[in-house]
Structure 1
């Protein structure tokens, strides 16, 4: 393995229990990943914070990997997310460790898909050496956890990613120990029973009959969300299903597979035993091929299917916004699928915040429901599938701006914005209007717009410099990097990091603290003084006017290539294209 470098002090114990002299070594790590996804970014940030020098290469084939390692000067290769097989020449030359989203003994490309579909109660992550046989290498580290009943992308980016990052850090430590040898899988205790090799999950494995029990339908769709979705039929139209939620139980007396309700962007489908499920997002088959993933009602309309005859459900069965009050604290909770906020969601969120702000509470909390993603701002899918993308985007940004203004205008309450998951672009700027901003520890923040060809709005030209200073704000907007919560707190973007486990309790305690009369009075007085000082020099209308002027050029004149960047993002090519070259990402 050779002597590595770690900008941290390691103490190696002798046989008699004494420690040898402390040494400082350095470790250079290459992350090979099939996508620039959340896990890869979290792993890179965690390793750098632990003193490692990290380079990241996005690769989709063995050829990509060979290009990425050519001439490389690194000590260890870690693969947090791969779908292509690693060439033997790489793992023979470099210590190469695979992070597999399954417990010890599990093998196969669709490990997590099978676990969710089969309702496994416990699952895990294993770090193993790359060898010729898939997922059969000696074990470096392993973790197990309870598997939540949630969609795959949410599971992957929370409990799986948490365990994977722990394994990555453990691998880096062990690789720095010349005496360490990974353990053969046959010698490792299996904490999850029944593991073994599983085949790829095909659409035939994912499919279901609408007459099936709703729990089966829920698990199948969750196991395919967000990729590849489950192929099915709605109203005679071929669709891929995503974003499924429980519906009514035992009171739906129509043929399974019938659209029986609609609410906001979701449609309710009858299924077995008189039950139903809600579908929030779809891809539909259009004349020129498949659409991007979009709100279900919007996608069906794009396919020429009318829902006007379907009953409008006025219950809260399919609800993405809730308001709750506990004493002097009011909480508005909203959920945006994959962080994408339509204009309709923004308008309803505005109404909820307005109602909450008129209550006689002292603290107003605006938060997500939980999971992997809080918000990424505009709903690019709804924009892409629209007959008028610039106009749809314009209405979307205006509605999102109104939410930001409402948070800023709640001067009689202390406002607390809570990032319950990762956020990007307008989803970051949304909560900067709050007095106090907190985030779950695992959240990643991308406070910039330029990579999507937008100048951005959400009053960020006021709220971002107010928190981090003009120079840092400009750097965040132009360098377009991802930051973790520790960096976000260090620069003043957020005020407090809350633990992933127990986040709700910590947030409630914080809200209770600010609801105390003295703290509430002191905070709201300072807010009113600050707004009076800042907005006398330059009113909010002026900030918004300048931002929207640039956004109008971005949307209607396509000044920064928003149309092409949006389309490429929403209609990603299939992985494994041999013509794609590995993409080099920033490294320290």
Structure 2
């Protein structure tokens, strides 16, 4: 069946739907719902069997829904209506929620119901829930609805009641630092963590606050800034304090959106002298505080966790993580696990910090070299096994960081984008070494040129991923830890480490890692320091949320369902798309 995805943006949920529908044998194309483009004309061009909207901020025109079955994915239970459904649920501390797939008609969110799936709603930020529990429920509901539509016999159920909730505005998100306690402040911040943020006044400026984490020991006058940690600021509440990792400067109407930045970088010279409070060493479950890098051990397994907002890794992030990795490798363990969190693994270099820099080319160069240093350290670890544990999505250099490990474990809901092309970059992080050795040169070329998302299952079939764990987001860390503990004590682990060391020496003799790095960085440097290179405009558009002018051509092509493709060594297995050079139908 050919499914057309209509979306306001090719966001994380749209990418996952795109990838998993292909896994189920459907051909899929995407059209962005843009103000100046006729959606009806686009649908006529595609001639889909089904129109599906995973994330749509505007109404489907009657000309479309009256001629085609159009299914809308709504992040709320049956009867819930409105554009801020999940925001209200997080802010009001709902513990259970649902995702409903309904048919578009003349009234927003009021159409017949094709499927609805419930999910837990733990106390996490809205964006982490959206990519985790909500996305899991959405995919289950989408696949159920698509199967029901394909059967031709299912009759959707009409909604008998509904509650329309208004769009959440900044006045609904306002924090009163003088009177609000920590729990209420966290609810406000978590309900707006990625977008739109909570508008607030701080140090003589207007900012949007992004992200919020509790602090159990620092105290001060409500609203006062108390300390910094790894780029975040700690601010006192009426009964405690919270850590805020990122800020975005307010801009007047008509001005471009400012990038989200580490809070201390955003504040710059406004920031008074504050003590830097490093995260407590080790992992103490009794503490309620924030840290973006942590380390703990269980027997012979070491766990180096990291979680950076949006998966973006600045030069400073990379250097701190490299220091932590080296410290972990100095410990007497046989396995080191990188990651293991519930959300993003990594999306590579920090485009926001680069965009905000006075010298974006220089910062781009510093950032990619810092990423390369980290990846090199992983690749040259020969005295233990390294596992990359991806509880969430990974893209570009972040995906290549994972491939530097000996094994890659993914939660089944993770989405991988192992390519750089859409940002106008050739890429580095030793991808020309790691990607072909896992999937072969032809498949590596196809993945990087097609630039389409892969589900964890598709990535495993291709050989990018060694193990997928089918579990809720919150259970991934525990599942990965149990597997790592068994791996660390397995009788074959010592011999695997010896084989790994020998292979690294063989590969180094054939072509040194330095040669891969030099070749990649030569092309990256040319791009960074060419003021007319598309990278600069693409980066700016991405960071500043500039509206797209058209649907990217690679998305409008029919991306075919899974098939078999050769792996290195002649092994065959299912792959993600038809054709060796591009998606079918281009």
- What TM-score results when the alignment is normalised by the length of structure 2? 0.89
Cα separation, partners in 2 of 1:70 and 1:517, compared to 1, 3 Å: closer
Q: In 1, Cα distance between the equivalents of 2:490 and 2:417? A: 35
Aligned with residue 401 of structure 2, among 422, 425, 430:
430
Provide the secondary structure at the position in 2 that maps to 1:333: strand
Greater relative contact order (Cα < 8 A, sep 6+) = 2
Aligned with residue 245 of structure 1, among 213, 238, 247:
213
2:287 is the alignment partner of 1:313: no
Q: In 2, Cα distance between the equivalents of 1:223 and 1:432? A: 33
Question: Partner residue of 2:175?
Answer: 208
Residues 375-390 of structure 1 aligned to structure 2 (within 5 Å): 375-390=346-361
Listed as ranges, the gaps of 5+ residues in structure 1 are: 1-26, 188-194
Superposition RMSD on alpha carbons, in Å? 1.9
Write out per-residue CA displacement over residues 265-309 of structure 1, whole angstroms, 9 at most, x where no aligned residue.
101111212x111111111147966521111111111xx4134x1
Displacement after TM superposition at 1:497 (Å): 1.1
CA contact (8 A) 2:6 2:53 kept: yes
Q: In 2, Cα distance between the equivalents of 1:136 and 1:384? A: 41
Displacement after TM superposition at 1:383 (Å): 0.8
Write out per-residue CA displacement over residues 18-53 of structure 1, whole angstroms, 9 at most, x where no aligned residue.
xxxxxxxxx332221111112112112222222223
Q: In 2, Cα distance between the equivalents of 1:556 and 1:382? A: 17
Cα separation, partners in 2 of 1:388 and 1:493, compared to 1, 3 Å: same
Q: In 2, Cα distance between the equivalents of 1:438 and 1:306? A: 41
Q: In 1, Cα distance between the equivalents of 2:109 and 2:504? A: 57
Aligned with residue 411 of structure 2, among 433, 440, 443:
440
2:164 is the alignment partner of 1:161: no
Q: In 1, Cα distance between the equivalents of 2:277 and 2:53? A: 46
Residues 106-117 of structure 1 aligned to structure 2 (within 5 Å): 106-117=80-91
Question: Partner residue of 2:332?
Answer: 360
Q: In 1, Cα distance between the equivalents of 2:175 and 2:60? A: 34
Question: Partner residue of 1:524?
Answer: 497
Cα separation, partners in 2 of 1:110 and 1:353, compared to 1, 3 Å: same
Residues 119-158 of structure 1 aligned to structure 2 (within 5 Å): 119-158=93-132
Q: In 2, Cα distance between the equivalents of 1:253 and 1:99? A: 44
Q: In 1, Cα distance between the equivalents of 2:174 and 2:479? A: 41
Displacement after TM superposition at 1:517 (Å): 5.4
- Equivalenced residues, count: 544
Displacement after TM superposition at 1:179 (Å): 2.9
Question: Partner residue of 2:546?
Answer: 573
Provide the secondary structure at the position in 1 that maps to 2:361: helix
CA contact (8 A) 2:299 2:485 kept: no
Question: Partner residue of 1:217?
Answer: 185
CA contact (8 A) 1:335 1:374 kept: yes
Aligned with residue 280 of structure 1, among 231, 236, 245:
245
Question: Partner residue of 1:84?
Answer: 58
Q: In 2, Cα distance between the equivalents of 1:388 and 1:381? A: 13
Write out per-residue CA displacement over residues 339-366 of structure 1, whole angstroms, 9 at most, x where no aligned residue.
1011111111111111111111111111
Question: Partner residue of 2:576?
Answer: none
Question: Partner residue of 2:581?
Answer: none
Aligned with residue 315 of structure 2, among 343, 351, 376:
343
Question: Partner residue of 2:232?
Answer: 266
Question: Partner residue of 2:199?
Answer: 231
Question: Partner residue of 1:20?
Answer: none
Q: In 2, Cα distance between the equivalents of 1:112 and 1:409? A: 44
CA contact (8 A) 1:261 1:310 kept: yes
Aligned with residue 303 of structure 2, among 320, 328, 331:
331
Aligned with residue 261 of structure 2, among 294, 297, 305:
294
CA contact (8 A) 2:380 2:504 kept: no
Q: In 2, Cα distance between the equivalents of 1:452 and 1:521? A: 41
Aligned with residue 425 of structure 2, among 449, 454, 457:
454
Residues 393-404 of structure 1 aligned to structure 2 (within 5 Å): 393-404=364-375
Question: Partner residue of 2:570?
Answer: none
Cα separation, partners in 2 of 1:382 and 1:368, compared to 1, 3 Å: farther
2:429 is the alignment partner of 1:463: no
Q: In 2, Cα distance between the equivalents of 1:484 and 1:319? A: 29
Displacement after TM superposition at 1:314 (Å): 2.9
Displacement after TM superposition at 1:168 (Å): 1.1
Cα separation, partners in 2 of 1:544 and 1:54, compared to 1, 3 Å: closer
Provide the secondary structure at the position in 1 that maps to 2:81: coil
Question: Partner residue of 2:14?
Answer: 40
2:131 is the alignment partner of 1:183: no
Write out per-residue CA displacement over residues 178-225 of structure 1, whole angstroms, 9 at most, x where no aligned residue.
3321112228xxxxxxx7211111111111211211211111121112
2:526 is the alignment partner of 1:553: yes
Question: Partner residue of 1:191?
Answer: none
- What TM-score results when the alignment is normalised by the length of structure 1? 0.89
Question: Partner residue of 1:322?
Answer: 294
Provide the secondary structure at the position in 1 that maps to 2:264: helix
Q: In 1, Cα distance between the equivalents of 2:24 and 2:490? A: 42
CA contact (8 A) 1:375 1:423 kept: yes
CA contact (8 A) 1:62 1:84 kept: no
CA contact (8 A) 2:407 2:466 kept: yes
Cα separation, partners in 2 of 1:384 and 1:230, compared to 1, 3 Å: same
Listed as ranges, the gaps of 5+ residues in structure 2 are: 281-288, 561-586
Cα separation, partners in 2 of 1:53 and 1:479, compared to 1, 3 Å: closer
CA contact (8 A) 2:355 2:540 kept: yes
CA contact (8 A) 2:220 2:226 kept: no
Q: In 1, Cα distance between the equivalents of 2:27 and 2:523? A: 38
Write out per-residue CA displacement over residues 429-481 of structure 1, whole angstroms, 9 at most, x where no aligned residue.
00211111111111111111121122211111211122112222222222222
Cα separation, partners in 2 of 1:334 and 1:55, compared to 1, 3 Å: same
